[in-house]
Amino acid sequence: MKNEKQVYKNKLLFPEPMFDLGLLSFSSFLYFNKETINITLHPTVSLLMTGCDPFKFYKLVQDKKPSWFNSFASVFSTWYKNRELLYNTGKILKPLQNDCFNTILLSYSRTEDALHENREVIKSTNLSKEDLLRIINIPMASEEFIAHLLFEKFLEYYDSKIPKEIQYPKEYISFEESRAANIDYLELYNYCDQLLANNTIEDLLIDCYFFRIKQIKQFPNILLTNEKLLDFFNKLPIKLENSESDLSFYEKNDIISWEIFRQITSKYIDSKQPKKRVQLISEFKRNRQDEIENLVNKCQQIAEDFQGESNTDKLSSNISKHIKIHVEKEIKDLLKLKKFQYEDLFNEIFSDEKTWLAIITLAISPVAGNSLLTAGAGLAAFANVAAKSFKTGVQMDKKIKNNEYALIYRMNNN
């Protein structure tokens, strides 16, 4: 696991952790081939270190049956399901860890003061509640709400009651061993009761989602996991650092180039089953470095056509139109090479008199009853066809390797 200082040098997948593979285009691992992508750990990852027992608190709320229990239970259930989502995606991505990505723990405040700050930032956008609910990621917001309640507020109320060996275990301890036994959770319940009496659960999910978002200016090199956040950023009255107008020619070009690369390649990678995606990325990273670089360079050349593009909202759709007009034909022609290979091979073999003679001899040999002739003709025919097949295959492979879209061919035929 890397720390935050190392994030600056590489791309950071932000703000969501890997709840599901849909948050990340696997094309990222190829385009940012010379960088390591950093994937954040989930907001509640440190709960084990606090001595808090989330299930004991849930049982207390359930027994008291407050009017807000169903709302709280829904968020708690989402948080609990997140464990399985994170485990499953982590297991699939494991073969790519270290070579393609690292995991990092982000440290930031989720206190009551930070919650009030979030509300002020959100209010400044003048976005409606409905708009905000469409923007936020509910699993992430649920994580942040649970972290605010069972991490920050829990420590605020009960830090002095937690044995230090639980907070700083010398070796791995089980969930049961890490729970502080002498806590009744009543103070935490009273805070939760007040919080949910004065706010709807939807409002709290919106407010809590932005704990991490406020840190965005600390990380200049991000891959956004939630594109809907662009609507939020565009409504902020204060311009974010590292905004479009601050970027150099090459930085802008790289952003556009990455979008072109993603659109060209993602349908050949992201449409495959998860394990197959991992297998392809591993194989390409090991054996197709030149082809990756050629395609990245090609995308950077295409990106120059978009310099001066003023409408960033329509950039993605404009790139899609450009690809359809200028790029798809080249890719389709390349993908037909396999078909052309067999056509070329057929023409070359059967226009050769010697091959015809060998095949005819092979056909009539059994009639003549000459087993030696049969074997000789068969060997001659096989050798001739094999040589021509090899020659045609080599010629096709050269055509592919010299093509800037060679990587697409590999993706399509794997």
Residue 412 has pLDDT above 90, yes or no: no
Token couple for 322: 């450009």
Residue 261 has pLDDT above 80, yes or no: yes
Residue 219 has pLDDT above 90, yes or no: no
Burial of 9 (0-12, 13-18, 19+ CB in 10 A): exposed
Contact 166, 178 (CB under 8 A): yes
Per-residue pLDDT tens for 186-211? 999 999 999 999 999 999 999 999 99
Residues in the chain: 414
Residue in this structure with the two tokens 């061993």, named with its chain if needed: 177
Looking at the chain, the whole-number percentage of residues with pLDDT higher than 90 is 43
Residue 319: pLDDT band (50, 70, 90) is confident
Per-residue pLDDT tens for 127-173? 999 999 999 999 999 999 999 999 999 999 998 888 777 767 667 77
Residue 376: pLDDT band (50, 70, 90) is very low
Provide the 3-class DSSP secondary structure of residue 37: strand
Per-residue pLDDT tens for 381-411? 444 444 444 444 444 555 555 566 667 667 7
Contact 40, 10 (CB under 8 A): no
Residue 356 has pLDDT above 50, yes or no: no
Q: So what's the pLDDT on residue 409?
A: 65
Which residues neighbour 364 within 8 Å (Cβ) at sequence distance 6 or greater?
none
Higher pLDDT, 392 or 65: 65
Token couple for 77: 């259930």
Burial of 341 (0-12, 13-18, 19+ CB in 10 A): middle
Higher pLDDT, 233 or 200: 200
Which residues neighbour 36 within 8 Å (Cβ) at sequence distance 6 or greater?
10, 11, 100, 101, 102
Token couple for 184: 């009744």
Burial of 114 (0-12, 13-18, 19+ CB in 10 A): middle
Average pLDDT, the chain: 79
Q: So what's the pLDDT on residue 250?
A: 56
Average of pLDDT values for 215-222?
A: 82
Provide the 3-class DSSP secondary structure of residue 38: strand
Burial of 128 (0-12, 13-18, 19+ CB in 10 A): exposed
Contact 236, 125 (CB under 8 A): yes
Alpha helices (H) in 199-239, listed in sequence order: 201-213, 229-235
Contact 143, 79 (CB under 8 A): yes
Alpha helices (H) in 95-163, listed in sequence order: 112-123, 129-135, 138-147, 154-158
- Laid out side by side, the sheet with 12-14 consists of 101-104, 37-40, 12-14, 222-224
Residue 7: pLDDT band (50, 70, 90) is very low
Residue 177: pLDDT band (50, 70, 90) is confident
Hey, which residues does 39 pair with through a beta bridge? Answer: 13, 103
Residue 354 has pLDDT above 90, yes or no: no
Distance separating alpha carbons of residues 75 and 386, to the nearest angstrom: 65
Provide the 3-class DSSP secondary structure of residue 97: strand
Contact 269, 39 (CB under 8 A): no
Residue 105: pLDDT band (50, 70, 90) is very high
Residue 35: pLDDT band (50, 70, 90) is confident
* CA Rg value for the chain: 30
